[in-house]
Amino acid sequence: MPDITTTRLARRGLLYVVVALGAVAMLFPFLWTVITSITPGGTLSSGPSLVVEDPTLDAYRELFGVMPVWRIVGNSFGIAVATTLLQLVTSSMAAYAFARLPFRGRNVVFAVYLATLMIPLQVLVVPLFIEMTRLQLNDTYFALLAPTIASAFGVFLLKQAMEGVPRELDEAATIDGAGHLRIFTTIMLPLVRPSLATLAVFAFMSSWNSFLWPLVVIRSPELMTLPLGLATLRGQFTTEWDVVMAGSVVSIIPIALLYIVAQRHIIAGMAHTGLK
């Protein structure tokens, strides 16, 4: 019979191989994007190629020449940061109310709130557009922010995390004379910091990649976000794919950096969110 240690090592080796293959499969599209962006006259019709002859940065120079990239990136970054901060504030406060404040109909309200997760944005685009039009807020930064101020997913995520915090801490703080505001800011928020980091990354990514709502509500080129800017790079008859891929690389870099910085908190947040 094979040795138990040998069998265990073989299983672990097989697991590493499977994980490595999965990582290659996930990273290959990004690698192909980078390679296409530095390939002269790069195209998508000839299939993926990992060998680049005479690599060049001309696509990046053309990208920054044909569109105001820094203004567009600044718009996307500002909207994404504002969205993230607003969702952190509103979601954490609502989650604390659902997790710690007893009131009549709490479970019903929370269930209805969660039910909104099943409603896709496409269904809400028309009523939201009409609302922004009547408020005369179309083609403004606030119109981009309005639908993302609150997040049902963020409330659910933080509520689950806060319910995992022992109630004895609340009771001890109450005995010391602390109110809900102090308990919320000095006890609850520090203890659910991994979940806050997870929500921050999800909110930032969602805002950064948002395309449909900005397309509907924005008309001025100076308010254009990055997904809209990338869409303008596609021509009616021909498309310079190396320039499009260069724009895609520019859009990927902030998200990759954010994930690298917050990776430890994301893993901790997802691991502890469902624990009681």
Confidence of residue 267 (pLDDT cuts 50, 70, 90): low
**Nearest-angstrom CA–CA distance, 82 and 71:** 16
Q: Which of 46-60, 76-90, 93-107, 181-195 has the highest mean pLDDT?
A: 76-90
Q: Residue 47: what pLDDT?
A: 62
Alpha helices in the chain (DSSP H): 4-37, 58-66, 69-100, 106-115, 121-134, 141-145, 152-163, 167-175, 180-183, 189-191, 193-208, 212-217, 226-231, 241-272
Average of per-residue pLDDT values in the chain:
83
Does residue 275 carry a pLDDT above 70? no
Q: Which of 34-43, 51-60, 87-96, 160-169 has the highest mean pLDDT?
A: 87-96
**Among 6-10, 155-159, 261-265, where is mean pLDDT lowest?**
261-265
pLDDT > 90: what percent of the chain?
16
Burial profile 81-114: b = 16 or more Cβ within 10 angstroms, e = fewer: ebbbebbbeebbebbbbbbbeeeeeeeeebeebe
Confidence of residue 265 (pLDDT cuts 50, 70, 90): low
Does residue 48 carry a pLDDT above 70? no
Q: Residue 276: what pLDDT?
A: 44
Q: What is the token pair recorded at 92?
A: 């954490």
Does residue 152 carry a pLDDT above 50? yes
Does residue 102 carry a pLDDT above 60? yes
Q: What is the token pair recorded at 208?
A: 């950064």
Q: Residue 44: what pLDDT?
A: 62
The pTM for the full model equals 0.81
Does residue 238 carry a pLDDT above 80? no
Does residue 83 carry a pLDDT above 60? yes
User: Which of 214 and 242 is assigned the larger pLDDT?
Assistant: 214
**Nearest-angstrom CA–CA distance, 225 and 218:** 9
CA 199 to chain centre: 8
Confidence of residue 92 (pLDDT cuts 50, 70, 90): very high
User: Which of 38 and 50 is assigned the larger pLDDT?
Assistant: 38
Confidence of residue 1 (pLDDT cuts 50, 70, 90): very low
Does residue 90 carry a pLDDT above 90? yes
